[in-house]
Structure 1
Amino acid sequence: MAKLQGHRNLRLPLLLLLLQFSFLQPLSYTYTLPDKYFINCGSETDETVDTRKFLQDKSPASFSLHTPGYNSLKDDNNQIQPPLYQTAIIFRSHSSYEFHIVATGTHLVRLHFYPFSSKNFHLSTAVFNVSVTGFSLLTNFSVVPNTNTTLPVIKEYLLSINSGAFAIYFTPYPENSIAFVNAIEVFHIPENFTTNESPHVTPLGGYKTYKGLLSQVLETIYRINVGGSDLLPDVDNLRRSWIPDDRYLSTPEAAQNHTTFSGRLTYHDDLGQYIAPDNVYMTAKKLNLNRKFINITWKFEVKLGVRHLVRMHFCDIVSNSTNNLVFYAYINSYSGQKIDLSAVTGRQLAAPYYLDFVVDSDKSKYMYISVGMVNDSDNYLNAVYRQAILNGLEIMEMSNISSNFTLKSDSKNVALIVGSVAGGVALIFTLIIGLLLALKCRKPKPIETVTWSPLPGNEGSSYGRTSEETTNATLIPNMNLGLKIPLSEIQFATNNFDKKLLVGEGGFGKVYKGVLRNNMKVAVKRSEPGSGQGFPEFQTEIMVLSKIRHRHLVSLIGYCDERSEMILVYEYMEKGTLRDHLYKSKLPSLSWKLRLEICIGSARGLHYLHTGSAGGIIHRDVKSTNILLDEKYIAKVADFGLSKLGPSLDQSHISTGVKGTFGYLDPDYFRYQQLTDKSDVYSFGVLLLEVLCARPAINPLLSREQASLAEWAMQWHKNGLLEQIIDPSLVGKINAKSLRKYGETAEKCLSDFGVDRPSMGDVLWDLEYALQLQVTAVHREPHEDSATGVVSELHLPNFQRIPTFSLSIEKDELPTRIDELLETTASQVFSQVTTDEGR
């Protein structure tokens, strides 16, 4: 059974940023149906469903059936389904329905399928393609019933159609198969229901304008009545169905239904009544403030590599007066858009409002939609703002089409198409030449600045796939530096590499604490001749960190390659490495809550690496010494010398020599030398156990059964005794449910095969949930340590790209590092690396 979900794209009013997209623009039309076709396929009688009259195929109407031959099929044995699904038309070869279109613009197309059986035909065996002129809607499509209560499958599309003839084609595939359909709807929808432009959220969390929505086919995936019940087509002016949201809630206890509204809605114009039915806006989910949640999140399964249009519906039915409701809306790990419902609805309560976002795929098979309270940093501290709501939600897949849908392929049209193609090729060629000339003379364009606001994380209970704001760095005061830093400035910062400032030493070389001329503290990694890590790793580190910026990734301040030097300059991390705080150290023990927050921060950084660019980036050396902590215990992932660009969309892995650290290595990667982002997930699973048990990943001094932390801990976990091996300082301080969730998360990460492991985004969700279980069950003292909600004060220099470097460097024949076999005590608190782990 396919999900009946809602698809609609409309302009997105991005509050004060994009007023030109506001749905509050006045409209002066009254909507009618210039084009409307409802067909009861395979039937010899007409059938009325609510107000729609479905005509039989042979009705004298302005549509026609083109087929070499067909069969009409009737299901006389099933009286449960409505009459519309008791008949079907069957095609054995390429066939089509053709419609005469009068009105130019967006049309809604619905195809109804119900796989009943008769003596001669079993519709569940049908495999076929469905297309329209210039575009494929369904490929190798089949409807296989899996229960006795199989419901009809309804496929719904929005597409732009020019006036003329519009055809829907049904083609059996393979040729010995059949195609079928039970009913078809084609009708024009109101003008401006969809617009050509919408705000666009990229995988990096950036924001820009997407142009060309009207050249897309939009397929309904989800249409959700948030806080309400099922809505049947008879309550919707466009005859759409809406389903409840409860099954998609990530944390049901975070939300409360609000269904007490009994007044009248205030629509700004005639279009409003078609955007969504009253019933959608008269119910909502709101935050459960009694449980101290700060956001509500819904999780939806979506296709990988597909762009989506997301429409969020809002209506303030929870406030007693205006100016009371300000909150954020979030999509995936991207930061949120602030919503002030009074401001955008003209200071009116119960006034429907909607937002559209074009959302790029981020390599996850799930999409997360959230609403949450404003940050304390937004100065909305008055209690009236401590709420967030959502009334409805629609998610649509976007598919580009080659041209607007046109008519019959007669000789004139063929000539017109050929001429257009030839002219288009000439135009494209001319544009390419012009573009190349322009690029030759144009200066490099600065990196896009991201303007979304950060996710609220106060109370230590932000359950959501959250990712802090990605921002451009700001220029270091009093220093005219780009990414490349003169050697003289580094010598100044380190007092000419004074031994007193030496804070670490590792495979790459020595690490010094330094202070730049603007008083910024930095960590300086200086290579030495003959070091185990050379120019390729130096080059890779620069390329990775010059292209990315995230709160949970250590920031590269600059580099130096003068006089055969290879020097990397990073932000200084006051609290050193995570391992420093876990074992073999005199530092105070970390609380369980703080350990969870550190793991969550690390997961956010890795999730950003995996999803923040085409193909993503695989870290390849995740371990506790590469997780650094700043002065407020904010976790940041470090050391990208072994990082690799992830596989392209048409690849499942990268073939490369094995590199990493013994004890953290993905067994799948080790066996087949096939690297994926799931290799990082495995290493992160080992890290989770290291955090819980406060012992190294490998301890050769222990027995064979205990030497490997992953094998040893998972054996205890499978026996239900994980609490027996936790850090002694945590005994009696971990909520049992939080520990159980944490252990399950580590177990999934450590699955033997990569395909069985979760994505880092899913790991992040599980850890957020483990934290929520802990903070809601354990009394928190006012002085308790917390890294949640802390905003970094670091100001970084402006970055410049280095065109001579490339991430495609591939010299991976060096042996696997085993320097973790023997643990040594880390030196004093320092920034980038510990003694035996540094690069």
Structure 2
Amino acid sequence: MVNFWTPQLLIWVSSISFLIPASLGFDPVDNYLIDCGSFANRSVGDRVFVADNSSSYTLSTPQNIVARTSVNFSSSTSDSVLYQTARVFNGISHYTFPIKEHGRHWIRFHFFPSVYGSYNMSKAEFSVSAQNFMLIREPQFEGGSVVKEYCLNVTADELVVTFTPSANSFAFVNALEMFSLPDYLIPKEASVIGLQGDNRSLSGNALETVARVNMGNVTIPRQNDTLWRLWVSDDVYLLHTNLGTFVSRVSAVNITGRPEIENIAPLSVYGTATWLNTELDPRMNANLTWRVDVDPGFEYLVRLHFCDVVSTSTQQSLIFNVYINSQFASHLDLHSLTSNKLGVPYYMDVITRVSASSLLNVSVGPSTTGASDPHAILNGLEIMKINNHRLSLDVIDTISSRSSRMKIAVIVGLVVGLFIVLLIAMVVILLFRRRRKLSDLDSEQGAHCAMYRRGKFHTMDNEHYSGTPIFSSSNIGYRFPLVAIQEATDNFCESLIVGIGGFGKVYKGVLRDEIKVAVKRGVPQSGQGLKEFWTEIEMVTQFRHRHLVSLLGYCDEQEEMIIIYEYMENGTLKDHLYSSNLPSLSWRQRLEICIGAARGLHYLHTGSAKAIIHRDVKSANILLDEKFMAKVADFGLSKTGPDIDKTHVSTAVRGSFGYLDPEYLSTQQLTEKSDVYSFGVVLFEVLCGRPVIDPSLPRERVNLVEWAMKLQREGKIEEIIDPSLLGQIKLESLKKFVETAENCLAEHGIDRPSMGYVLWNLECALQLQGNGEKPGHNGETSSQVQHVDSSSTSLPTAEFSVASVGELAGISMSKVFAQMVKEETG
């Protein structure tokens, strides 16, 4: 199928291809190239950067400060010639560019943090903004040149770029590029991973280039790109280099009738690739994965470039899957997408959110359908950060340690003398007056929280706002004023974020009476919206249970969608299993957490006239309090169950990939057994300590459920156990736990147990584990093997299968269940 060239020939072809000048067919209408601080024009390849005194734009700055470095830059074909001089700003300064063509524009800033005369640029502290977007805030320079690239949709007749130095510091820039882009380069919208059919508009967003990668282990310099982009070789991002084969066949690229494709990416990108070749070992099941450092808490536009320059015939299939982090992104039949022509470029855009991790993984791997040859290919990758709701592309509330030390020094200096005494007195007076102004609001808010905790009813009505209680048979919550929530969260300080989900961000807050709360703040562009906001409030007010997270109130002022919950000190179960560096949970802890979550779900299913179906059961929605007691959370997708004469609720499929009930997915018929299936997935997560979908693993291990069930059938279940649990689990407890998970994952809902039966079996597994404990290898405790006699065979009244009785034959049931914890419903 593939004619792979020798490494020497690949290197020769790659070298020759870069001697061919790029087809610079794009001529931007707006095109500003500035060599900042220079008094003469400089050529960089075929582009000319003008001296920093051009009349085509306006520079407004308090002082005209330019600086020159002593470093010798001799190359005339590299960006390095731009680093001989710099423009320095000692106050707020503006570049104002007239705009002839509205639409997408690129802005590139070139920085070289060296010593320029009396200025050490590595110590500069400043921010850069444009069009109300915060582009850069207190950059951290760590040697070498830095190029920062941004994309703005300019709709005005001028664009103002503002440099703002921090107190007692300065700003600088070595070169600046600002030019218009083809209107087809950046999509107007893109699909969001994990939300089927949901497209996200990008027309009003700013973007920052995080990574631009060329596959095939070849770097493409700016001179070979029509838009002067640098494409970095993928070898520094590729996780397992032994799985990929680097290919270069630029001559095989076919762009007949599509000359604009060279502005999407150079032919050298589509002509080089990293190829997952399983021809030598057809049994090899693996994915190619590239890992990129990113800032958590942002959405990212991910563009993937494909071009089959490897196959010799379209009769040979090239079907494979694409994954972003642990989520399925696309199932690609590349030949079908390119009209069954070889060498035709194709690219796709998706949006993903990175919550807690600082890494973004992109993977391609063989299709799991088995209908194609096990191959996969990727030619290029671009990752662009999307601005957050604060119109920022930087972490606004993060203050560098360097800046902190400077502020401390300023404060220490101010302490000296009578002036600081007067200043403190003024501050105290202002705070006192403000406190008195808000005293009524404060006392009523405290009364609400206190009355809420005592179960009393109250309606607020004063000059500030009217508070409305939420009444139900078992619970009451309050409409909080926005000002109280802003105060509790330090005006939604980014450093207080404890989680990010489809609805929005979750902040840790502290009310004035020192009550800790979790503040769940929706955003207008979130996957969930107003309907889910009210659904969650209405659902949670219907019940109150120790294993369900309690609602304290909500806020819908100024179009905000905010829900206030009790704060869960130990975060999510997911965080303690695999997505953080938290200490590993012992087996007994994991059993108790599963039991607590099962109690909460069982109460949802049976605690009212109609069942409540959670519809999004997953480890990220099981929260842990300060004592590691589990509570089920996030009821935005919850649904009231069927009437007594009905078997199901017909509804659109919603939930999380990897946890969805396959029967619900195919029939759109929702029952409580859909929650049971999702909980079965969670049980295997707990046992294995790994994500449900992990595309970085070999193909047969990507899907946790498929892998676990396969090994269970082969009698090798011990191979999937979390290594941190080795030596902790008693065999009887393991068997009962795995049997429970397996029953939950039955293909048809009618064959799955009720949540009550699941709860009973988990309590059984806990009792089989025993109470005696010994230190585990990680410092946790584990149950010791204890002798159990067979003098009694009594069983408690409950649902129980013949197979289960057989497995427990010879074990004293009276001792096993002597101290079984009964289900709690209040």
TM-score, structure 1 as length reference: 0.50
Distance 1:278 1:304, change over 3 A: same
Query: What residue number does 1:395 align with?
Result: 383
Query: What residue number does 1:155 align with?
Result: 148
- Note the C-alpha offset of 1:249: 1.6
Which letter maps to 1:114?
F
Higher mean C-alpha deviation, range 220-229 or range 112-121 = 112-121
Q: Residues 312-355 of structure 1, C-alpha deviation per residue, up to 9 Å, x if partnerless? A: 00001111112521111111111241111121112211111101
Query: What residue number does 2:69 align with?
Result: 75
Query: What residue number does 2:556 align with?
Result: none
Q: Check whether the contact 1:551–1:792 (CA below 8 A) recurs between aligned residues.
A: no
Equivalent positions of 1:376-775 (< 5 A) are: 378-381=369-372, 385-400=373-388, 484=605, 540=632, 570=676, 602-605=689-692, 633=712, 687-691=722-726, 693=727
The answer to whether structure 1 residue 250 and structure 2 residue 239 are counterparts is yes
Distance 1:798 1:200, change over 3 A: farther
Count of residues paired in the alignment: 487
Q: Check whether the contact 2:536–2:638 (CA below 8 A) recurs between aligned residues.
A: no
Query: What residue number does 1:353 align with?
Result: 346
Q: Secondary structure at the match of 1:350?
A: coil
The separation in 2 between residues aligned to 1:400 and 1:487, in whole angstroms, is 40
The separation in 1 between residues aligned to 2:634 and 2:40, in whole angstroms, is 71
Query: What residue number does 2:179 align with?
Result: 187
- Note the C-alpha offset of 1:633: 1.9
Which letter maps to 1:796?
G
- Note the C-alpha offset of 1:301: 1.6
1:170 to 163, 180, 205: 163
Which letter maps to 1:380?
A
The separation in 2 between residues aligned to 1:572 and 1:351, in whole angstroms, is 41
The separation in 1 between residues aligned to 2:188 and 2:374, in whole angstroms, is 35
Distance 1:318 1:280, change over 3 A: same
The separation in 1 between residues aligned to 2:293 and 2:537, in whole angstroms, is 42
Q: Which has the higher contact order (CA 8 A, sep 6+)?
A: 1
Q: Check whether the contact 2:535–2:635 (CA below 8 A) recurs between aligned residues.
A: no
The separation in 2 between residues aligned to 1:551 and 1:371, in whole angstroms, is 18
Q: Check whether the contact 2:222–2:229 (CA below 8 A) recurs between aligned residues.
A: yes
Query: What residue number does 2:226 align with?
Result: 237
Q: Check whether the contact 2:108–2:177 (CA below 8 A) recurs between aligned residues.
A: yes
The separation in 1 between residues aligned to 2:630 and 2:686, in whole angstroms, is 27
The separation in 1 between residues aligned to 2:68 and 2:681, in whole angstroms, is 74
Q: Check whether the contact 2:97–2:158 (CA below 8 A) recurs between aligned residues.
A: yes
The separation in 2 between residues aligned to 1:837 and 1:630, in whole angstroms, is 29
CA root-mean-square deviation: 5.3
Which letter maps to 1:246?
D
1:373 to 349, 366, 372: 366
2:38 to 39, 43, 46: 43
- Note the C-alpha offset of 1:34: 0.9
Q: Secondary structure at the match of 1:273?
A: helix
The answer to whether structure 1 residue 139 and structure 2 residue 127 are counterparts is no
Which letter maps to 2:171?
A
Distance 1:575 1:168, change over 3 A: closer
Higher mean C-alpha deviation, range 45-54 or range 267-276 = 267-276
- Note the C-alpha offset of 1:544: 12
Q: Check whether the contact 1:107–1:160 (CA below 8 A) recurs between aligned residues.
A: yes
The separation in 2 between residues aligned to 1:574 and 1:73, in whole angstroms, is 65
Q: Residues 607-642 of structure 1, C-alpha deviation per residue, up to 9 Å, x if partnerless? A: 99xxxxxxxxxxxxxxxxxxx97686289xxxxxxx
Higher mean C-alpha deviation, range 316-325 or range 33-42 = 316-325
The separation in 2 between residues aligned to 1:258 and 1:194, in whole angstroms, is 28
Q: Residues 113-157 of structure 1, C-alpha deviation per residue, up to 9 Å, x if partnerless? A: 012213421111111111113111111124242xxxx2x100001
1:89 to 80, 87, 90: 87
Which letter maps to 1:396?
M
Q: Residues 575-608 of structure 1, C-alpha deviation per residue, up to 9 Å, x if partnerless? A: 9999xxxxxxxxxxxxxxxxxxx99954124999
Distance 1:794 1:126, change over 3 A: same
**Structure 1 residues without counterparts, runs of 5 or longer:** 1-29, 405-434, 446-463, 466-480, 491-535, 559-566, 579-597, 609-627, 636-683, 698-790, 800-816
- Note the C-alpha offset of 1:259: 1.6
Query: What residue number does 2:484 align with?
Result: none
The separation in 2 between residues aligned to 1:576 and 1:135, in whole angstroms, is 41
Q: Check whether the contact 1:267–1:352 (CA below 8 A) recurs between aligned residues.
A: no
Query: What residue number does 1:65 align with?
Result: 59
The separation in 1 between residues aligned to 2:248 and 2:531, in whole angstroms, is 61
Q: Check whether the contact 1:254–1:293 (CA below 8 A) recurs between aligned residues.
A: no
The answer to whether structure 1 residue 278 and structure 2 residue 267 are counterparts is yes
Which letter maps to 1:36?
N
Distance 1:253 1:137, change over 3 A: same
Query: What residue number does 2:49 align with?
Result: 54
TM-score, structure 2 as length reference: 0.51
- Note the C-alpha offset of 1:542: 11
Q: Check whether the contact 1:554–1:570 (CA below 8 A) recurs between aligned residues.
A: no
Query: What residue number does 1:494 align with?
Result: none
**Structure 2 residues without counterparts, runs of 5 or longer:** 1-24, 393-528, 540-577, 580-601, 612-627, 640-653, 665-672, 696-706, 732-743, 753-769, 774-782, 789-794, 796-801, 809-815
Equivalent positions of 1:305-320 (< 5 A) are: 305-320=297-312
Which letter maps to 2:712?
Y
- Note the C-alpha offset of 1:211: 2.9
Q: Check whether the contact 1:72–1:90 (CA below 8 A) recurs between aligned residues.
A: yes
Query: What residue number does 2:103 align with?
Result: 105
The separation in 1 between residues aligned to 2:634 and 2:44, in whole angstroms, is 64
The separation in 2 between residues aligned to 1:687 and 1:222, in whole angstroms, is 34
Q: Check whether the contact 2:677–2:745 (CA below 8 A) recurs between aligned residues.
A: no
The separation in 1 between residues aligned to 2:214 and 2:361, in whole angstroms, is 16
Query: What residue number does 1:342 align with?
Result: 335
The separation in 2 between residues aligned to 1:50 and 1:444, in whole angstroms, is 64
- Note the C-alpha offset of 1:78: 2.5
- Note the C-alpha offset of 1:54: 0.5
Q: Secondary structure at the match of 1:633?
A: helix
Q: Residues 626-675 of structure 1, C-alpha deviation per residue, up to 9 Å, x if partnerless? A: xx97686289xxxxxxxxxxxxxxxxxxxxxxxxxxxxxxxxxxxxxxxx
Distance 1:363 1:268, change over 3 A: farther
